[in-house]
Structure 1
Amino acid sequence: MKLTETSVLRPVTVAMIMAGLAGIGIFCYFQLPRELFPEVDFPMVTVMTVYEGAGPEEIQQLISKELEDEISTVEGIKHLRSVSQQGLSLVMAEFYEDTDVDIAAEDVRSKVNIVRNLLPEEAYDPVTMKFDFNDYPIMQLAVSAPRSLREVYLMADERIKDRLSTVPDVASVEIIGGEEREIHILTDQQRLRAYGLNIGDIPAAIAMSNLETPGGHISQDAHEYNIRMRGKFTDLEEIQNLRLMLPTGKSVYLRDVAEVRDTFKEIREKARADDKACVGVSIKMRADGNTVAVDEGVQKQLEELKEILPADYKIDVQEEQASWIKAAIQNVFTNIYIGIGLTAVALFLFLHSLRSVIIISLTMPISVAATFIIMYLMGINMNMMSMMGLAMTIGVLVNNAILVLENITRYIHLDHAPDLAATEGTSEIAIAVASTTLTNVVVFVPIAFMGGIIGQIFKDFGLTATFATMVSLFVSFTLAPMMASKLLNKQNTSVMGDSLRHRFGRRFDRGLEELRESYGRALRFLLRHRPLTIIASILILVGAVVLAQFIGEEFITSMEQGQFSISVEMPVGTRFEETDAA
């Protein structure tokens, strides 16, 4: 085999290539984004519309029905349903699995824009969203201080939110709870009527006076000056002194017909941490972001905020995904390390050569590192599925190298020179090893290109397993025979000798021979009683089919993250205070 022969004749070249693959692979390992699951596009588009103060029936008639009638004309919809509740409308369109969700979302957004003028003016603009598997907050913070919630909210909104929004790949930072400043104007109806005014005159006057508009520019000599008409209210007194025009042509101050209060918005949500009221901060990541990298960026900003904020402010991380992702991936790597260690022990038991163990122990990490290079070039993230594919192929990586080394060892014991034994031993079984490897590839490739949601989830698994399998074949035909030609000889692969290793090897081989004889006797018994063997096999098959009916089914298995959540839903119409007390 030309590839093996070249590798044996040019060991330095092969060593440099493998060292390069290992170095670049380690670099790519640290560059790979880390996520819990692969990116999955669910064929679901949701339209959310907020209409504060409206009941479920009003929401259904005025918003949900209008949106459903228009969205139903979009092509490719499989199911369309809506949920109308107090102040909120949700219209969910499920598309067929082969639908491009991005195009479908754009079509739905276009339909929503058409029907927007038919919705109540007081309703917020509808928001069209794709269902994103990772569209959940990656971190929840609790901001607290021995101050009023109004001060804490102001600090979170003006300082903390702005700093966290600068972290790369952060999509949004939302403030939850607290007391947001709001100016309330409480009118006196009798005084309004006495002056010939109605309540609609007040918001109109405020809107006209609370303006800030550009006024062009003035050119003078070599300079140009921009003009801006500044009319925004700066304090409570300016609002109180706003003049309202009367039908008689005179004016009256706003304070004469209404009471102006500097207070806060009605509290409709509240955050607590350690049984104390606080201000919550929810951080979401962009769809193409890296959860671990974003988490590290946020943690860095939090350290800087500790130096900037007053000493009595505390920012506690209540929930975050990055540590769970890192722990899950690390668990997979731990299993890989254990697999490599157990494989090394098994190799020593069967080959009785520490040098063979060294060769195998080098081929496995290099194969894994080279796989990281292909993952990086193909844009595959490091997630549970890709790492599972890599872990499953560890056996394939080892199997190829073992077959090659075992045959090379056999040739060495036939008194062939190590170089010739490496070349001839590898060439003799090259077709068998390649066929075995390609058989595994044939299994993994269809998994990588399955359709639907399952196909998206298993794509990284199938591709990673395929790449790792092909890399292992290359390493087995290059690095393994090259190292065998330099490290193995008849003396260090033989069990003849008086050392502890030799005595253990001979005892192990005798035990293996006894096991082989026992297996032979069992096989001969089964061949003599073929009807019994066939009946037993059929019973096992039928039993497996019957027991399979009792195996549960689920889309994704539940994972233990060391935490739990409790959700309490109160009856419709329950006051916020009652819900908060629950």
Structure 2
Amino acid sequence: WNDNEVHILLDPVKIKEFGINPQQVQMALMANNVNMPAGYLVRRNKEFRLRTYGQFNSLDEIKNIVVGMTKDYKPIYLRDIAEVKLEQEESRGIAEFNHKKALWIMISKESGANTVNVMRRVNKEIEEIKKLLPRQTSLDKMFDMSEMVTRVIKRTASNGIVGALLAVLFIYLFLRSWRPTLAISLAIPLSVIATFIAIYAAGYTLNVMTMVGLSLGVGMLVDNAVVVIENIYRRIEEGENRFVAAGKGATQVGMAITASTLTTIAVFFPVLFVPGITGQLSRGLALTVAFSLLASLFVALTLVPVIAAQIFKKERSAGMEATKWFRKLRDKYTAALKWALHHKTLTIAVVGFIFLLSLALIPVIGGEFIPKMDPAFAQVFFSLPQGTPMEQTYEVANQLLAAVEEEPDVLFSGLVVGTVAGSEFDISGGSQGTPTNVNEGAIYLRLKYKEHRKLSNEQIVNKMRRAFPSLKNAKFVSQNNMSQMIGGISADIEVKIYGDDLDVLRRLAKVAADSIKNIPGVSDYDLSFKEGRPELRIVVNKEKCARLGLSAAEVASAVHTYTLGAFAGRF
């Protein structure tokens, strides 16, 4: 929103006729618009504070200010040489939401603060603010990071629960008895609860990475319990007392499952020492898997034997071995194992060939730091050739919006053109996504969630890319907001060139950009170096100025006043 301000438009003909210069007008306004505290006055045993008050209270007062004298000593009023009117402050930027004038508010959390908890409190305050707004005013959220975090955590948790249920189901299919299945089913939540305690003690929260680690560990949580229960169950079937079988069965396999668990943890142990952003992303996952395995080992060696001693009993014709198809599967496996043992050289050769073949597939598969995401938020930054006026940039922004806003997958849209006073768009968009001049703009789209829309985020952005005019030195860049937040990068590939000579850096950057843009699959290349805006220089002839009684500063001040105006006080 632009503030109101008093515009004083000087008439060049009249100020030349009366011999008045802009500096005189500015000084006259400043000298007659004062509100200055002074000393104290004691009168009738009472002290008064003194203040000299001469501020303007109306436009008429401003119009009647004396700015000079004629040759016959008659006063020259401001109304004689200028037009005085109340108007809105001149804008060098446009911010809109769904084609309506908008005020953008960017909220960032403190370092270390929980995103979900912060946004929960922010949403509560938003509801209170809505009660204070006029009916014609709406308050909408374009992007909410906590929604993405909450959805990912819920999905990961649900996947973990489904995985645990499937694990229990397969255990029952193999054991064909509810008693050992119940024992293992109790081992899973007990191990998860123990893992939560370890995560909290390590200073981690239930974020995306720890939940993925926990989901990954759910399938391995039952391994130790299955080994212990199967051994206890076997000893009971052989005739041992269930309490004796529980103690000896757990002790018998205790060393084996401990060694198995520690070797699995050893695979994740080096991840704890990976430096940089990679280590920060994967450390929580590795620790969660390690904690869950240690918790499952503890539960398998302590609580599982206790449960088994209470509910197990000897059963006839139970377990997988009682089924006909399992015996056939076991017989085929036994035959294959005997063949492999009798043909050791051929078996090793086949395995070695498969291993080498898998290594050859690595270049074909490719790799990337963070996989491509399809978020419900799209952000585009574009720039037109230097010198493009704001009105034309605004037309291009509307042209880009027109290409996608009719899509049912787009919920609402917003744009920012030029520099909007008081905004901090670099908080969300980064330095590459912030309009810093009238020839630059940004488009923001809020989309439906992936499962509810037909087009992907990239397909919607490509529609705007095709609508972007093909102009020399014009750029269109799609901002990957999710990758920037998670990985600290604003593009899939970034090339950084370091040096002391700016001219050399500029030349090398252009050579690199020209080489990279011709590579198949590359789009939206951009240089962080920005070309300067075209300018007209007024070179002051100091000798002529001296003859006319002027200085270079007075000339510069006059040009500034005539083109941008000058501040002369508050009204």
With normalisation by structure 2, the TM-score equals 0.61
Q: Distance in 1 between matches of 2:294 and 2:200?
A: 16
Match of 2:290?
466
Q: Distance in 2 between matches of 1:485 and 1:336?
A: 29
Letter in 2 for 1:550: V
The reply to whether residue 330 of structure 1 matches residue 171 of structure 2 is no
Match of 2:214?
390
Of 342, 352, 361 in structure 2, the residue corresponding to residue 547 of structure 1 is 361
**Cα distance change, pair 202–440 in 1 and its aligned pair in 2 (3 A):** farther
User: How do 1:307-456 residues align onto structure 2 when only pairs under 5 Å count?
Assistant: 307-456=131-280
Q: C-alpha displacement at 1:342, in angstroms? A: 0.7
Q: C-alpha displacement at 1:348, in angstroms? A: 0.8
Q: Is the 8 A contact 1:214 1:228 kept in 2?
A: yes
Q: Is the 8 A contact 2:184 2:222 kept in 1?
A: yes
Range 509-518 or range 572-581, more displaced: 509-518
Match of 1:19?
none
The reply to whether residue 187 of structure 1 matches residue 1 of structure 2 is no
Match of 1:530?
344
Match of 2:325?
511
- CA-to-partner distance for each residue in 1:311-358, whole Å, 9 max, x for gaps? 222222233222222111111112101110111011112222223222
- CA-to-partner distance for each residue in 1:288-325, whole Å, 9 max, x for gaps? 33222232223222322332222222222233222222
Q: C-alpha displacement at 1:276, in angstroms? A: 4.0
Q: Which runs of 5+ in 2 are unaligned?
A: 397-571
- CA-to-partner distance for each residue in 1:360-395, whole Å, 9 max, x for gaps? 222222322332233233332332222222121112
Q: Distance in 1 between matches of 2:232 and 2:85?
A: 90
Of 93, 96, 105 in structure 2, the residue corresponding to residue 272 of structure 1 is 96
RMSD: 3.5
The reply to whether residue 561 of structure 1 matches residue 384 of structure 2 is no
Q: Distance in 2 between matches of 1:384 and 1:328?
A: 7
Q: Distance in 1 between matches of 2:181 and 2:55?
A: 78
Range 567-576 or range 433-442, more displaced: 567-576
**Cα distance change, pair 209–485 in 1 and its aligned pair in 2 (3 A):** farther
**Cα distance change, pair 229–558 in 1 and its aligned pair in 2 (3 A):** farther
Q: C-alpha displacement at 1:205, in angstroms? A: 5.6
Q: Secondary structure at the match of 2:120?
A: helix
Match of 2:21?
198
**Cα distance change, pair 485–282 in 1 and its aligned pair in 2 (3 A):** same
Q: C-alpha displacement at 1:217, in angstroms? A: 8.0
**Cα distance change, pair 581–429 in 1 and its aligned pair in 2 (3 A):** same
Letter in 2 for 1:349: L
Q: Distance in 1 between matches of 2:352 and 2:201?
A: 48
Q: Secondary structure at the match of 2:140?
A: strand
**Cα distance change, pair 342–191 in 1 and its aligned pair in 2 (3 A):** same
Q: C-alpha displacement at 1:563, in angstroms? A: 4.8
Q: Distance in 1 between matches of 2:65 and 2:98?
A: 45
**Cα distance change, pair 181–282 in 1 and its aligned pair in 2 (3 A):** farther
Q: Distance in 2 between matches of 1:489 and 1:256?
A: 110
Q: Is the 8 A contact 1:349 1:508 kept in 2?
A: no
Q: C-alpha displacement at 1:185, in angstroms? A: 3.1
- CA-to-partner distance for each residue in 1:537-565, whole Å, 9 max, x for gaps? 23212221221111122221111224544
**Cα distance change, pair 475–528 in 1 and its aligned pair in 2 (3 A):** closer
The reply to whether residue 480 of structure 1 matches residue 304 of structure 2 is yes
Q: Is the 8 A contact 1:495 1:506 kept in 2?
A: no
Q: Distance in 2 between matches of 1:358 and 1:221?
A: 96
Q: Which has the higher contact order (CA 8 A, sep 6+)?
A: 1
With normalisation by structure 1, the TM-score equals 0.60
Q: Distance in 2 between matches of 1:486 and 1:363?
A: 15
**Cα distance change, pair 311–509 in 1 and its aligned pair in 2 (3 A):** same
Give aligned-pair identity as a percent: 33
Range 537-546 or range 238-247, more displaced: 238-247
Q: Distance in 1 between matches of 2:60 and 2:3?
A: 20
Q: Is the 8 A contact 1:197 1:246 kept in 2?
A: no
Match of 2:116?
292
**Cα distance change, pair 362–506 in 1 and its aligned pair in 2 (3 A):** closer
Q: Secondary structure at the match of 1:262?
A: strand
Letter in 2 for 1:312: Q
Q: Distance in 1 between matches of 2:184 and 2:258?
A: 18
User: How do 1:190-229 residues align onto structure 2 when only pairs under 5 Å count?
Assistant: 190-193=13-16, 197-203=20-26
- CA-to-partner distance for each residue in 1:380-423, whole Å, 9 max, x for gaps? 23322222221211122111221221222122223333322222
Q: C-alpha displacement at 1:243, in angstroms? A: 5.8
- CA-to-partner distance for each residue in 1:249-299, whole Å, 9 max, x for gaps? 998655444333332333333233334444433333333332222322232
Q: Distance in 2 between matches of 1:228 and 1:443?
A: 78
Q: Distance in 1 between matches of 2:101 and 2:348?
A: 71
Q: Distance in 1 between matches of 2:158 and 2:217?
A: 15
Q: Which runs of 5+ in 1 are unaligned?
A: 1-152, 154-178, 497-501
Q: Is the 8 A contact 2:320 2:326 kept in 1?
A: no
**Cα distance change, pair 310–521 in 1 and its aligned pair in 2 (3 A):** same
Q: C-alpha displacement at 1:245, in angstroms? A: 7.3
Q: Distance in 2 between matches of 1:231 and 1:465?
A: 74
Q: C-alpha displacement at 1:508, in angstroms? A: 5.8
The reply to whether residue 304 of structure 1 matches residue 304 of structure 2 is no
**Cα distance change, pair 381–193 in 1 and its aligned pair in 2 (3 A):** farther
- CA-to-partner distance for each residue in 1:418-462, whole Å, 9 max, x for gaps? 322222211221111111112222222220221122112212122
Q: Distance in 2 between matches of 1:453 and 1:337?
A: 29
Q: Is the 8 A contact 1:448 1:461 kept in 2?
A: no
Q: Distance in 1 between matches of 2:368 and 2:248?
A: 51
Letter in 1 for 2:126: L
The reply to whether residue 572 of structure 1 matches residue 396 of structure 2 is no
**Cα distance change, pair 506–434 in 1 and its aligned pair in 2 (3 A):** closer
Q: Secondary structure at the match of 2:385?
A: coil
Q: Distance in 1 between matches of 2:391 and 2:77?
A: 37
Q: Distance in 2 between matches of 1:194 and 1:400?
A: 100
Q: Distance in 1 between matches of 2:265 and 2:125?
A: 45
Letter in 2 for 1:328: V
Match of 1:261?
85
Q: Secondary structure at the match of 2:159?
A: helix
Q: Is the 8 A contact 1:396 1:437 kept in 2?
A: no
**Cα distance change, pair 237–359 in 1 and its aligned pair in 2 (3 A):** farther
Q: Distance in 2 between matches of 1:209 and 1:400?
A: 88
Q: Secondary structure at the match of 2:83?
A: strand
Match of 2:561?
none
Q: Distance in 1 between matches of 2:293 and 2:69?
A: 85
Q: Secondary structure at the match of 1:343?
A: helix
Q: Secondary structure at the match of 2:234?
A: helix
- CA-to-partner distance for each residue in 1:103-158, whole Å, 9 max, x for gaps? xxxxxxxxxxxxxxxxxxxxxxxxxxxxxxxxxxxxxxxxxxxxxxxxxx4xxxxx
Q: Secondary structure at the match of 2:383?
A: coil
Larger radius of gyration: 2
Range 335-344 or range 521-530, more displaced: 521-530
